[in-house]
Amino acid sequence: MVQRAFRLCFSLLFLSLISWGIPNGVAAQADSCGMGFKVHKVASKHLGETRDFWVSLPYDYSDTNAYRVLYVLDAEWRFDLVRLLEFDQSANGLIDPHIVVGIPHVEWEVKRQKDLSFSQSRMEYDGEPVDSTWYNVRNAGGAEAFYRYLTQEVMPQVEALYATNGHNSLLGHSMGGYFGGYLLSRPQPFSTLYLYDPSAWYSDGEMSRVLGNGLGSKQKVQVVVTYQPIPAFHKSKVEEFITTVEQFEAIELHTKMYAQESHNSLFLPSFYWCLQLLREERSP
């Protein structure tokens, strides 16, 4: 009966999200299934402004236990979907429970790309060159500050407020995937990086170049990469990144190409596949 209730609750919420389109996480802080989430604020010295992060706790959360943490970039679109699916799978005993932390952006049209990029690219996803009117100091190249905000301000606060076990995962799609892939070149606190159709084309494949320099090669981490084949330049850069990652024995790599999916539709099957990997990991 309990499992049936969870599934019914999840189904109603999922249908609600579909019917309303892109979810508004802040407006959904509480719902009829008791699956609300908490909003926290950080007065960030690295970003020079106050930012929110959102926390969704697993079913039957207790401070006497310790939990994995899944950090989700682009929380404006991805947080509700991820937390509801994770809740369904963990509440039914299929995967280990996670605290799900959503990382939203502010002034999305400008600051999202700036938060997630380490440089100012001079080419687009199809390989066409662009000038500084496309990527410039206003809208790109701010990821160093965002990296410090995430790892030095958000993560310590999560660990101080909640019962965590040190197993941290980062989920990023598109530019978020590029950001996560770039972190392989430096010390970072994530045991798993989920990179969905990462923007490996950015700055002509710099996430591959910085890793290829040998940085970060000794850090043990699981990397899950999914991608789709359009355009061809994008596909070639993702596969170049995969080839680079394969050189490092410390990295456990999983990859899957979704030939029938688009850049955006790929997210849902990618996350479902990652849930399957978590189920396999939990099986004896």
Tell me the average confidence (pLDDT) per consecutive run of 10 residues in the chain, 284 residues long. 41 37 38 70 97 96 97 96 96 96 88 96 96 93 97 98 97 98 92 98 95 70 97 98 93 97 98 97 76
What pLDDT, on a 0 to 100 scale, did the predictor assign at position 14?
40
The token pair that represents 235 in the structure block: 């596909």
- Is residue 173 within 8 A of residue 197, CB to CB? The reply is yes
Using only C-alpha atoms, what is the Rg of the chain?
18
Rounded CA-CA distance 117/139 in Å is 9
Amino acid letter for position 122? R
| Helices and strands in the chain, H and E counts | 9, 8
Q: Which helix (H) or strand (E) holds 82?
A: helix 75-91
For 129, the 3-state DSSP assignment is: strand
Q: What are phi and psi of 59, to 5 degrees?
A: -55, 135
pTM confidence score: 0.88
Q: Residue 262 has what pLDDT?
A: 98
> How many residues are given for the chain?
284
CA-nearest of 194, 242, 239, 248 to 219 is 248
Domains and CATH numbers, the chain: 2-282 (3.40.50.1820)
Q: Is the dihedral of CA 205, 249, 215, 155 positive or negative?
A: positive
Q: CA–CA separation, 23 vs 82, rounded Å? A: 12
Give the pLDDT of residue 1: 39
- Residue 163 CB neighbour total at 10 angstroms: 14
Contacts of 205 (CB under 8 A, 6+ apart): 237, 240, 241
Q: Which residues pair with 196 in a beta bridge?
A: 173, 226
